[in-house]
């Protein structure tokens, strides 16, 4: 759920068609009510809590190769299929759960992505059992605020040194499907950075 200068990452490297503030004052999402609501009310606001961050990481991984709007439209189905993204519940999923997920037309039925979600839930639980948390790890890579907002999407990167370091730390902790570009999208979506472009109605 991110958006970047190379597509939608940030609007996320893969999907969004961004509109410029000069025409709509909304940097993406103005062509669809669900997308616009996500832009206005969620993208770029701080997200805390292991379950909430786990959800964002899973959905960012699921989005790879697809449009973010597709993921938004399936979001409630994902929440139902993955037990509200409770890490402990998903970490305990077994072969029967995997089969159930692969038969669920409401979600993205990609074997590697579904298995990654279960693997990442187990990584979240392992962090908690070690006395840490996904929240603590994730937010430790928040960069200093930008000196000025990006003028347009050409100034929004696909990844940053912080997202590279975050991806490396998550992989070390047992997470998968967490490359630097995907993690920068997650950083954008979860408010670690504010990449709403200058003049955007949601710029805070």
Q: Catalytic residue numbers?
A: 38, 60, 68
Tell me the C-alpha distance between 71 and 119, whole Å: 20
Tokens read off for 146: 């930008």
111-129 and 50-63 helices, crossing angle to 10°: 160
Q: How many CB atoms lie within 10 A of CB 203?
A: 15
H or E segment to which residue 113 belongs? helix 111-129
Give, as one character, the DSSP assignment of residue 107.
S
H or E segment to which residue 12 belongs? strand 12-12
The CA radius of gyration of the chain, in Å to the nearest whole number, is 16
Tokens read off for 55: 């959800």
**Widest Cα–Cα separation across the chain:** 51
105 contact partners, CB below 8 Å, separation of at least 6: none
Tokens read off for 169: 């730390």
């Amino acid at each position: 759920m991110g958006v970047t200068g190379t597509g939608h990452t940030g609007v996320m490297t893969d999907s969004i068609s961004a509109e410029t503030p000069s025409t709509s004052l909304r940097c993406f999402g103005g062509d669809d009510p669900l997308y616009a609501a996500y832009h206005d009310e969620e993208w770029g606001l701080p997200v805390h809590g292991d379950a909430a961050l786990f959800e964002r990481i899973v959905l960012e991984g699921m989005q790879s190769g697809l449009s973010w709007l597709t993921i938004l439209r399936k979001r409630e189905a994902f929440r139902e299929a993955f037990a509200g993204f409770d890490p402990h519940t998903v970490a305990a999923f077994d072969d029967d759960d995997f089969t159930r997920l692969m038969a669920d037309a409401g979600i993205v039925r990609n074997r590697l992505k579904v298995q990654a979600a279960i693997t990442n839930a187990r990584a979240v639980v392992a962090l908690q059992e070690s006395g840490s948390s996904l929240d603590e790890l994730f937010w430790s890579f928040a960069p200093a605020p930008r000196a000025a907002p990006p003028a347009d999407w050409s100034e929004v990167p696909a990844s940053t040194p912080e997202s590279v370091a975050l991806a490396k730390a998550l992989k070390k902790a047992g997470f998968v499907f967490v490359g630097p570009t995907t993690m920068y999208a997650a950083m954008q979506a979860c408010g670690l950075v504010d990449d709403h472009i200058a003049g955007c109605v949601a710029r805070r």
